Amino acid sequence: MDLFVEKGFAATRSEEVAARAGVSKGTLFLYFPSKEELFKAVVMENVARPVAEGIAEAEHFAGSSGELLTWMMLEWWRRYGATKASGISKLMMSEAGNFPELAEFFRNNVIQPAQALVRFVLQRGIDRGEFRAIDVNNTIYSVMAPLIFLVMEKHSTGPCNAAKPSINAEQFITHHADLLVRGMVAGH
């Protein structure tokens, strides 16, 4: 996974994968009939774990829905976005066109549960009178877009780039969530 995340599918050489796995190149092809199958296996293995955990916790959150939204976005970043694992998401967006099966799997097992969670939070706010009767479907994207954006940004520039005045992710998420909540609050 590390190598695919670092370099993408095409630029990752089987030889290096084998080396990092501590086996010979031949052995790799003994277990995976092709580089494509290896890639699929890598993605399948490394996806969908943390999402489920997050959902369970969110359902028992005690505070206001605005606080919940902010907490959830920050938590997602801390547990997933900021880790190497989020490279899988970047990978998926980059390579989805070449691996339709993977894309569909990813959509079903990662994106949709995540969207459902966001929907749950937004609906909770509306139901409790904290938010206006906003357009939930579109707001889901307003919540997810900056997270995806951060992930792409994090993984698009390699280990290079000393001059990177990079984004402060948590600060940005807090700021964005604040904007959203202000835009959603009831009474305006």
Give which of DNA, a copy of itself, none residue 52 binds (C-beta under 5 to 8 Å, depending on kind): none
Q: What are φ and ψ of residue 131, in 5° steps?
A: -110, 155
The 3-state secondary structure of 51-76 reads HHHHHHHHHCCCCCHHHHHHHHHHHH
Cα separation values, 119 from 99, 109, 113, Å? 28, 16, 10
Give which of a copy of itself, DNA, none residue 148 binds (C-beta under 5 to 8 Å, depending on kind): a copy of itself
> Quick check: 112 and 142 in contact, CB under 8 A?
no
**Residue with tokens 């005045």, as numbered in its chain:** 165
> Quick check: 99 and 36 in contact, CB under 8 A?
yes
> Quick check: 144 and 173 in contact, CB under 8 A?
no
Select the residue interacting with a copy of itself from 92, 102, 110, 121 (CB under 8 A): 92
Contact flag: residue 26 with DNA (CB under 7 A): yes
Q: Given the rule CB under 8 A, which of 1-9, 24-32, 55-63, 116-124 is the region that contacts a copy of itself? A: 1-9
Determine the Cα–Cα distance for residues 43 and 38; give it in Å rounded to an integer: 9
Select the residue interacting with a copy of itself from 2, 7, 45, 84 (CB under 8 A): 7
Give which of a copy of itself, DNA, none residue 120 binds (C-beta under 5 to 8 Å, depending on kind): none
Contact flag: residue 135 with a copy of itself (CB under 8 A): yes
Contact flag: residue 157 with DNA (CB under 7 A): no
Contact flag: residue 33 with a copy of itself (CB under 8 A): no
Select the residue interacting with a copy of itself from 103, 109, 113, 119 (CB under 8 A): 103
Least distance from a copy of itself to the Cβ atom of residue 80, Å: 17
Tokens of 74: 């920050």
Considering the complex, state which of residue 97 and residue 187 has its C-beta at the smaller distance from DNA.
Answer: 97
Contact flag: residue 86 with DNA (CB under 7 A): no
* E strands, the chain, in order: none
Q: Which residues bind to DNA, rule: CB under 7 A?
A: 12-15, 23-31, 33-36
